[in-house]
Amino acid sequence: MSGGHLWSGRFDQAPDPAAFDFGVSFPFDRQLFEDDVFGSLAWADALGRAGVLDAAAIARIKDGLRQVLERGRQDPSWVAGDDEDVHSFVERQLVALVGDDGRRLHTGRSRNEQVSLDFRLYMRRRIPLLQARVRALIAALADQAERSGEALMPAYTHMRRAMPVLVSHFLLSHAAALRRDHVRLAVAMDEADALPLGSGAVAGTGYAIDTAALAAALGFSRVVPNSMDTSSDRDFAVSFLHAASLAMVHLSRLAEDVIYFTAEEFGFFDLADSSATGSSMMPQKKNPDPMELVRGKAGRAIGHHVALLVAMKGLPTGYNKDLQEDKEGVFDSEQTLAVSLDACTAVIAKLTLRPERTGKAASGLLLATDAADYLVRKGLPFRNAHEVIGRMVRELLAAGRDFDDLSPAEWRAYSELFGDDVREAVSALASVKARRTPQSTNPDAVKAALAETRAWLAAQG
């Protein structure tokens, strides 16, 4: 076995399996297979430009790498073996195909920079797929918002009815958070967008590698500024994990809203049968399992984020094997976010609004602020208005009534300032129409927000 590793020459003894197997990363870093091959194809050219390899050797190496890529793509199960990591696997297969030229490929290069390269290429390849899923969920929310028209519902603070809003405003509130996730994913991708090759193991490489040309060949917009920083830098992975965990937090909150708004006590929306599961015992049950799972899975993504920060915090400058802990969390967070986005999109797309229920919940005593604003418009200071309406609310509650039941005379008993128009002014629709700012639930503002969302989606392709 001592001949089987990339570094065997230095050692007298074969590795102890208890130590070697512990350090193996191939079972998970095989996901970087394609990226590793693309990096090596470009590295072969870079060695050519540096005068290390001649054209014929480069051609044989690249031909061999393409065969390796082809085979791995056709049969992913072939990308396996007792290699230490994916870099060793690709090199072993290349040497098996082209012999000594394959042994020349690693000239001037370290796995420390290679793994950084592969991981950066992976991010660039995979993050856009997550962003497309984020957009699909935003589109589902926009479709529901459009369908809900001018339906009203209560907005809550402290989980108590606060003020009436359009249902579309509520739906677009979740779209607004997801838009930030879309940006945050782009920021993580931008952070990964720097070529680490040329850094060597830690001090830089001794060959005349044209890093600008290599960066361009691999599609990077820039080259890293410092080889020592680069060998221990996983900030881009942390940024991705942060973006993914915060996106999962947003999905978890969306899920929570769906869970209680579809519960019997609210009945604001109906969950489609296809979005729910039944109970093995209680025939009446229709459970929102997919939403509960999304809420539950947010914890894993947060855990992966924290785990990598903790793994990195005490590291001395330069590569340390601890950094191998960067990958599994990223892969799992990526997968968790992808399936959670899909589940949310499916559930949201098939929700049915019950506007009579949401509208009823949006009327009554939550119009108290509008009643106070009415008095303010008539010249009463807000503090006094708050007190007048507070007394009304207390007495109406005791009598089991609300604003809707009051005659003009009853209104006037509380304040001379109440005119006959008060009933119209103190209604849920009047309340939303009275909001004025662009971010408010004013129907024109919400219409504009919906149009902006549609235009943004269209511009993203």
Give catalytic residues, as residue numbers: 158, 279
As a three-state string, the secondary structure of 206-267 is: CCCCCHHHHHHHCCCCCECCCHHHHHHCCHHHHHHHHHHHHHHHHHHHHHHHHHHHCCCCCC
Tell me how far, at minimum, the Cβ of 22 lies from ligand ARG, in Å: 12
Element at 385 (helix H, strand E):
helix 382-399
Could you give the CA distance from residue 309 to residue 326 in angstroms, rounded to a whole number? 9
**Residue 29 or 35 having the CB closest to ligand ARG:** 29
**Residue 319 or 411 having the CB closest to ligand ARG:** 319
Q: For ligand ARG, which stretch binds (CB under 6 A), given 110-118, 121-129, 289-297, 308-316?
A: 110-118
Exactly one of 130, 194, 243, 323 binds ligand ARG (CB under 6 A); that residue is: 323
Counting contacts by CB under 6 A, is residue 319 touching ligand ARG?
yes
**Residue 28 or 414 having the CB closest to ligand ARG:** 28
Tell me how far, at minimum, the Cβ of 10 lies from ligand ARG, in Å: 13
Counting contacts by CB under 6 A, is residue 85 touching ligand ARG?
yes
Exactly one of 287, 324, 369, 440 binds ligand ARG (CB under 6 A); that residue is: 324
Counting beta carbons within 10 angstroms of the beta carbon of residue 248, is it exposed (0 to 12), middle (13 to 18) or buried (19 or more)? buried
Counting contacts by CB under 6 A, is residue 33 touching ligand ARG?
no
Interface with ligand ARG (CB under 6 A), residue total: 10
Q: For ligand ARG, which stretch binds (CB under 6 A), given 212-220, 321-329, 352-360, 432-440?
A: 321-329
Closest residue by Cα to residue 258 from 326, 146, 345, 376: 345
Could you give the CA distance from residue 86 to residue 119 in angstroms, rounded to a whole number? 12
Tell me how far, at minimum, the Cβ of 134 lies from ligand ARG, in Å: 28
The residue assigned the tokens 């004013």 is 442
Could you give the CA distance from residue 228 to residue 320 in angstroms, rounded to a whole number? 12
Counting beta carbons within 10 angstroms of the beta carbon of residue 204, is it exposed (0 to 12), middle (13 to 18) or buried (19 or more)? middle
Exactly one of 40, 112, 144, 453 binds ligand ARG (CB under 6 A); that residue is: 112
Could you give the CA distance from residue 26 to residue 84 in angstroms, rounded to a whole number? 6
**Residue 191 or 325 having the CB closest to ligand ARG:** 325
Counting contacts by CB under 6 A, is residue 115 touching ligand ARG?
yes
Contact pattern for ligand ARG over residues 138 through 157, marking x by CB under 6 A: --------------------
| Cβ-closest position to ligand ARG | 324
Exactly one of 30, 111, 124, 126 binds ligand ARG (CB under 6 A); that residue is: 111
Could you give the CA distance from residue 6 to residue 84 in angstroms, rounded to a whole number? 9
**Residue 115 or 426 having the CB closest to ligand ARG:** 115
Backbone angles phi, psi at 435, to 5 degrees: -70, 145
Q: For ligand ARG, which stretch binds (CB under 6 A), given 90-98, 245-253, 317-325, 424-432?
A: 317-325
> Which of positions 361-390 make contact with ligand ARG (CB under 6 A)?
none
**Residue 34 or 150 having the CB closest to ligand ARG:** 34
Could you give the CA distance from residue 143 to residue 201 in angstroms, rounded to a whole number? 52
Q: Which residues pair with 153 in a beta bridge?
A: 165
Could you give the CA distance from residue 42 to residue 220 in angstroms, rounded to a whole number? 12
**Residue 33 or 269 having the CB closest to ligand ARG:** 33
For residue 434 the two structure tokens come to 């009275």
Counting contacts by CB under 6 A, is residue 238 touching ligand ARG?
no
Closest residue by Cα to residue 220 from 330, 117, 130, 132: 117
Residues that bind ligand ARG (CB under 6 A): 25, 29, 85, 111-112, 115, 319, 321, 323-324
